[in-house]
């Protein structure tokens, strides 16, 4: 059995199974950047590229975005153009609907991609900036579980939080 470094040099692939039961082959150098896979490889638990590693928290669409992110940011794909990378980052998350953004945030957290997680969280923050609580609830399909009396009490206790 070869070492992970030898396998990477030979163009080895790691096979993963996503939450939607898609089997995806990833280059070893990309797979090692994903925390659960990297931990297995570095710990010797998945030194063989013949096994399939399950990613139960990651949908295949979000895995594809995570791989794109890794290729752009970690594999030298940025080309040193910081402004170009920022624009690319914004496009990566900007076109997602709320469910897609939530899924990407969850995947980035599970995969240990801190930069992608910050990017997705910043997109959420940008989307809710300046919005009323009712607008945010509608945007993310959050039910208002406060009674009229509870909401009135909150408004009187913290009027600064409600810029009516």
- In which order are the strands placed within the sheet that holds 23-27? 23-27, 13-17, 52-54
Q: pLDDT at residue 106 above 50? A: yes
* More confident of the two residues 41 and 4: 41
Q: Look at residue 74 in the predicted model and tell me its pLDDT.
A: 76
Q: pLDDT at residue 50 above 70? A: no
For the ranges 16-25, 48-57, 100-109, 139-148, which has the lowest average pLDDT?
Answer: 48-57
Q: pLDDT at residue 141 above 60? A: yes
CATH class of 7-129: alpha beta
CB neighbour list of residue 143: distance below 8 Å, 6 or more residues apart = 137
- Are the C-beta atoms of residues 34 and 107 closer than 8 Å to each other? no
- Taking the model in full, what pTM does it have? 0.78
Question: What are the φ/ψ torsions at residue 46 (nearest 5 degrees)?
Answer: -135, 40
pLDDT-derived band at 79 (thresholds 50, 70, 90) equals low
Mean pLDDT, range 92-115, rounded to an integer: 94
Q: Look at residue 77 in the predicted model and tell me its pLDDT.
A: 52
Give the whole-angstrom CA distance, residue 85 versus residue 63.
19
Share the mean pLDDT of the chain. Answer: 85
């Amino acid at each position: 059995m070869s070492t992970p470094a030898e396998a990477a040099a030979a163009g080895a692939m790691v096979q993963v199974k996503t939450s939607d039961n898609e089997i995806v082959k990833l280059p070893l150098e990309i797979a090692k950047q994903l925390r659960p896979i990297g931990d297995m490889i570095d710990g010797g638990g998945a030194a063989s590229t013949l096994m399939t590693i399950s990613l139960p928290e990651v949908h295949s669409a979000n895995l594809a975005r995570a791989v794109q992110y890794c290729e752009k940011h970690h594999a030298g794909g940025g080309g040193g153009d910081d402004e170009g990378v920022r624009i690319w980052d914004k496009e990566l998350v900007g076109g997602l609907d709320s469910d897609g953004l939530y899924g990407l945030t969850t995947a980035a957290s599970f995969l240990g991609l801190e930069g992608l997680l910050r990017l997705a969280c910043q997109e959420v923050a940008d989307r809710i900036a300046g919005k009323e609580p009712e607008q945010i609830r509608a945007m993310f399909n959050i039910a208002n579980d406060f009674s009229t009396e509870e909401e009135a009490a909150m408004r009187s206790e913290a009027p600064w939080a409600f810029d009516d």
